[in-house]
Structures are given as structure tokens and as C-alpha cells.
């Protein structure tokens, strides 16, 4: 059953980028999306210079069959959690799969370390070539994460962690820098009482800043624009007795 009441259409250079943008607009995780391809240009998954792809996406409807146990009895929506042994086996499986993909891209053996950190499985690839490529284009990491999320179909349930692909710590360093920048900008917006617009092309970068300022009681964030022109705005939280922005009262 498809729930297309809140369908959005997104155009992007890759399927994963389009799904990420759709998830941001619908305010859900990518795993909660259903979609169909409206139009697609030439180019494979890693052909970042190819034509764009347009999708229509909507939030998944609840699948009643997934709420049933194997004997056909309802389980009140609860799914049995994976055991520590199953989680460890899944972690090793994804580590090897990521290692195989990265080795194929780099055209040489690549070592991948897997580490569970909070609710994330961090797969860190030790390869100079991939590090350079991810610095140039964040879509590579997002595409890898999309492939890895689709790999463990045999468990027939949500993954017990989010998959995060890194190369020599490049993306985690990027996260740290963005969080520090968000705090500096929050201070500036609060002091000047004027909004700031950030032109970050990566939906992941925008999400990091959103999350960094989520509990900041002085400012709030919102996305503006659509598609490749989407931007992030940081605005001051205005008190009742304060004038609107630009008001010279």
C-alpha cells in the first residue's frame, strides 16, 4: 500500500542524493521512504558527472505483514532485537562488503575498520585515493552508505545502527568543523539579531548544522529553496517585545 498524500518530487545528480533530499523534506529517515523514478539520464551509480535523476518520494505506509510473527500472530508492532552475536556478525559482513567495494573503486586492496559508536556503525577506509575523492565530492560516501544499507536484506528488519562511511577520519573531522562553525554562527546571529543564509550543497552538511543547533534556545534553523538551490538559514529567536528583522523601530 502506497501513501502518496505527502509526495515530493526531487531532482538531483544521483539517486542517493535525491533520496537524501526527499528524506529531509519529509522529515524522515531514508529507510522510511518509498519512491519511484520519474526520469533518469545516462550514467551509472558512480557517474557523478552524468545527467540528473528525478524521483517522486513519499513516506512508507505501515506494512501490516511486518507486524506479524512467522506463525501469523500479531506482535503489537514490536520486532525482536538482534542478539549481540547477530549484531557482531552483521558488522563483520558489512565491513567485508565495504572493503570489497572500496578496493574495486581504488583498484587496489583497501583496509576498512568497523567500529560501533553510539547508534552508528563507522566504516573507516584507509586509502589516500578515496580520501581525496570524498574531499572533492561527498556524494561518494552517501552512495556507499546507500549500497551498504541495502546489503543485509536477510535480517528482514530495521538495522540496529546507522551506517557511516569515512576515509581516514575525513568526514568525522568535517562533522567537528561544522559543529564548531554552527556554534560560532549561532553566537553571531544572536548578537546581531539577523539571520544568516548558508549555501551548503550537501544535504548531509545541512543536517549536521541542523542537529548542532537543535537545542540552542537562542536561534533556530530552516531550509529554504528547492533542489540544487536548497540553502540553510539560521535565524534568531525573537522575543515578544523585540522588533522584526530590519525594523528600525
Q: How far apart are the first and last CA of the chain?
A: 55
Place 241 in a pLDDT band, splitting at 50, 70 and 90: low
43-52, 70-79, 135-144, 212-221: range with lowest mean pLDDT: 70-79
Q: What is the per-residue pLDDT for 236?
A: 92
Spatial separation of the C-alpha atoms in residues 165 and 65, rounded to whole Å: 32
pLDDT band of residue 73 (cuts 50, 70, 90) is very low
Residue 125: partners with Cβ closer than 8 Å, 6 or more residues away: 98, 99, 102, 110, 111, 112, 165, 166, 167, 168
pLDDT at 4 over 80: no
Question: What are the structural domains of the chain?
Answer: 8-62 (no CATH), 84-168 (3.30.300.20), 173-236 (3.30.1370.50)
The pTM for the full model equals 0.57
Amino acid at each position: 500500500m502506497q501513501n502518496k498524500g505527502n509526495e515530493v518530487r526531487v531532482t538531483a545528480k544521483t539517486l542517493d542524493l535525491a533520496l537524501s533530499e526527499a528524506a529531509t523534506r519529509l522529515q524522515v529517515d531514508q529507510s522510511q521512504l518509498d519512491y519511484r523514478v520519474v526520469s533518469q539520464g545516462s550514467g551509472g551509480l558512480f557517474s557523478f558527472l552524468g545527467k540528473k535523476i528525478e524521483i517522486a518520494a513519499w513516506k512508507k505506509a505501515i506494512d501490516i505483514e511486518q507486524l506479524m510473527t512467522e506463525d501469523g500472530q500479531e506482535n503489537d508492532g514490536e520486532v525482536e532485537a538482534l542478539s549481540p552475536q547477530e549484531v557482531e556478525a552483521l558488522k563483520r559482513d558489512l565491513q567485508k562488503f565495504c572493503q570489497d567495494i572500496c578496493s574495486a573503486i581504488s583498484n587496489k586492496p583497501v583496509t576498512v575498520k568497523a567500529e560501533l559508536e553510539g547508534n552508528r556503525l563507522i566504516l573507516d577506509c584507509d586509502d589516500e585515493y578515496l580520501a581525496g575523492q570524498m574531499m572533492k565530492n561527498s556524494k561518494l560516501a552517501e552512495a556507499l552508505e546507500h549500497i551498504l544499507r541495502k546489503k543485509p536484506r536477510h535480517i528482514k528488519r530495521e538495522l540496529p545502527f546507522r551506517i557511516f562511511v569515512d576515509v581516514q577520519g575525513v568526514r568525522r573531522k568535517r562533522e567537528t568543523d561544522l559543529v564548531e562553525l554552527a556554534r560560532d554562527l549561532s553566537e553571531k546571529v544572536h548578537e546581531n539579531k539577523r539571520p544568516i543564509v548558508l549555501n551548503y550543497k550537501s544535504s548531509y552538511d545541512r543536517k549536521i548544522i541542523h542537529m548542532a543547533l537543535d537545542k540552542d534556545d537562542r536561534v533556530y534553523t530552516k531550509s529554504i529553496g528547492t533542489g540544487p538551490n536548497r540553502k540553510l538559514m539560521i535565524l534568531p529567536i525573537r522575543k515578544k517585545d523585540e522588533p522584526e528583522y530590519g525594523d528600525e523601530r
